[in-house]
Amino acid sequence: MSTFKSRLESGHSKEITASIVADVKNASDRVYELMDCFFSDDWRLSQRAAWPVGIIGENHPKWMIPFMEQMIALLKAPKHDAVIRNTVRLWQNMEIPEVWQGEIFELCFGFVTTPTTPIAIKAFSMTVCENISKNYPELQQELILAIEDQMEFGSPGVKNRGQKLLKKLKRN
C-alpha cells in the first residue's frame, strides 16, 4: 500500500483521486494521512490533496470537523485556489459547528465580494454564507446586497447561483 503522499507526488489525475477516496472510505482513520498532505507546506501536494479532500468532505462532512480550525487558518493564507475551492465546496454541504460560523461567514463573504475571486469559489461561498445566515437573520440583508452586487457583472455561474439564493433569502 503506497502512501497518499507518494501517489499525489506521482501526478494529478481522476484515477489517483478516486483511489485515494476509496482508500479513505474503506479505512476512515486514513483521513488523517490525507489531511497531512492537504495541510502540507508543499503547495503542489496541498493542491493535489484538495480534490480528494473535497470529495470526502462532501460525502462524509463529519470527518472534517477535527480539521476545521486548520482549514480556516489555511484559507486565511491559501497556497492554491484548489485548496480554497475544495474547502468551500465541502463547507457548503455540511452543518458547520456554531463555534466556527462567524469566522467562516467572514471568509466566504470576502470571497463573494472580492472581484477577482474565481467563479466556483464565489458561487460556493454564496451558498456557505446563505446556509450560515439561516441562523443569523441579521446577516441576510447584508448577504442579499452582496449577491445583488454580483449580478450585474457576474459570470453565468455566479448569476445562476445568485438568483437561486436571492429567492431563498428574500422568502425569509
Write out pLDDT tens, residues 40-51: 999 999 999 999
Backbone angles phi, psi at 145, to 5 degrees: -60, -40
Within-domain flag for 48:
yes
> In terms of domains, do 112 and 53 share one?
no
How far is the C-alpha of 29 from the C-alpha of 118, rounded, in Å?
A: 33
Q: Is 71 within the bounds of a domain?
A: no
Does residue 162 contact residue 149 with C-beta atoms inside 8 Å? no
Per-residue DSSP letters for 117-153? Answer: S-HHHHHHHHHHHHHHHTS-HHHHHHHHHHHHHHHTT
pLDDT, one tens digit per residue, over 24-65 is 999 989 999 999 999 999 999 999 999 999 999 999 999 999
Residue 149 lies in a domain: yes
Place of cell 475551492: 85
Which residue type is seen at 98? E
**Domain contains 34:** yes
Domain that holds residue 156: 95-172
The CB density around residue 18, as the number of other CB atoms within 10 Å, is 13
Count of domains for the chain: 2
Q: What is the pLDDT of residue 39?
A: 96
Please check whether residue 33 lies inside any domain of the structure.
yes
- Calpha distance 159→157 (Å, rounded): 5
Q: Give the pLDDT band of residue 79 (cuts 50, 70, 90).
A: confident
Of 13, 46, 66, the residue that ends a domain is 66
Mean pLDDT, all residues of the chain? 93
Residue where the block lists cell 485515494: 20
Chain Cα centroid distance, residue 159: 19
Q: How confident is the model at residue 2 (pLDDT cuts 50, 70, 90)?
A: low
Percent of the chain with pLDDT over 70: 99
Rounded to two decimals, the pTM is 0.91
Is 72 a member of any domain? no
Domain-embedded: residue 3: yes
In this structure, the answer to whether residues 104 and 46 fall within a common structural domain is no
Residues 104, 154: one domain?
yes
Confidence check: pLDDT of 1 > 70: no
**What is the mean pLDDT of the segment spanning 5-10?**
94
Are 112 and 167 in the same domain? yes
pLDDT reading at 128 higher than 70 = yes
